[in-house]
Amino acid sequence: PSIDDLKTIYDFEYICSKILPKNAWYYYSSGSEDEFSLRENHNSYHRVQFRPKILVNVKDIDTSTTILGEEEDVPFYASATALAALGHEDGELGISNGCAEGDFKIPQMISTLSSKSLGEITKSRINNQTHWFQLYVNTDRSKALDLIKEAEKSGCKAIFITVDAPSLGRREKDVKLKAQPSRENGISKGLSTFIDPSLNWEDAKFLNSQTKLPVFLKGIQRKEDALLAAESGFNIVISNHGGRQLDHTVSPLETLTDVVPLLKEKGFKPGTDIEIFVDGGVRRGTDILKAIALGATGVGLGRPILYSNSAYGSEGVKKCKEMLKEELVMNMRLLGVTSLKELDESFVDIQSLKYR
């Protein structure tokens, strides 16, 4: 279909289910084992309801926010996803351009396992867009340090150490197809041999000490770890890797409701002392508003970006972010807020969140 006929970001997923080669579709869409977490990530958003405010002048709506001290047009970003070239030959370059082009831009987190090299992606940077780097820590630590240095040199503004993947979750659609995706440049080593399962807090703190860039731990799934991370000087991404790692985990949205009150109680100010991002299952402007109301300072999108890039290249990514922003603006108006700063927990009811 023509890109102008698309109405929601779910349309990209549907199109990909029809047009992508099986290995790409299974690799992108799968979750681990029974795919409970994959479904629950999304479903949990349906268990948070709004409490809209009336008679607010909502003529002008401002979706901008500050992330890591930088003004961003919207509070959402493209999260790291490996192997974008399985779905579209432009790979991460399409994602990068789609994030940067048009009336507004969104930050892009670049995966260690990108199809294109970090240098190629960051050299394509336009409109002064924000690039971040996601790090899988190699068994050979000097490689991890080299990657951090390369990310710094190439203008990335933050490092995200992924901590929910000491080994790879079993994504059974993938396993059944026996199509282990391989890197475009021919390095087809299994991902699990590349990532170091011995990575621990001391290692993470050491890596943090080796860079001036802000460092995030990506894959926080319990409030105790969130507090430890905050006390150790990390920012955090509450995430279960899009339901691709341990199955049957609490949804990131629900974990957010545990983490934010605890960090606040301990004196951390979200957005000032620490960034608290959340990802997994976000498909609507309303999902983003719910996460922000519950204290998230940034919201990540994984598959929606891969699907829109696979279906239409950079134009698709641009359309995807535009649809989400339109939904944000309309729903902020309906909710009775003119700026994201006004959002707080009083705008949502989370009583049903625990009832799965």
Catalytic residues: 136, 164, 241
Query: CB under 6 A: which stretch of 9-17, 265-273, 295-303, 332-340 binds ligand FNR?
Result: 295-303
Fill in the per-residue mask, 36 to 55: x = in contact with ligand FNR (CB under 6 A), - = not in contact. Answer: -----x--------------
Q: Maximum distance among all alpha carbons in the chain?
A: 59
Of the candidate residues 23, 32, 79, 208, the single one contacting ligand FNR (CB under 6 A): 79
Positive or negative, the CA dihedral 128, 282, 318, 308 is positive
Of 307 and 337, CB closest to ligand FNR: 307
**Residue 87 interacts with ligand FNR (CB under 6 A)?**
no
Interface with ligand FNR in residues 299-328 (CB under 6 A): 300-303, 306
**Looking at 105, 241, 284, 325, which residue binds ligand FNR (CB under 6 A)?**
241
User: In terms of Cα–Cα distance, which of 44, 10, 67, 14 is closest to 274?
Assistant: 67
Q: Tell how far CA 193 is from the center of its chain.
A: 24
> Does residue 280 touch ligand FNR according to CB under 6 A?
yes
* Whether 94 contacts 110, CB under 8 Å: no
Two structure tokens written together for 284? 């609507």
What's the token pair of residue 90? 């432009």
Residues 95-134 that bind ligand FNR (CB under 6 A): 111, 113, 134
For ligand FNR, the closer CB: 172 or 345: 172
Residue 148 in contact with ligand FNR, rule: CB under 6 A: no
CB of 336 to ligand FNR, least distance (A): 27
Mind giving me the DSSP string for 46-110? Answer: GG-EE-PPPS---SS-B--EEETTEEESSSEEEPP-S-GGGT-TTHHHHHHHHHHSSS----EEE
Is residue 281 involved in binding ligand FNR (CB under 6 A)? yes
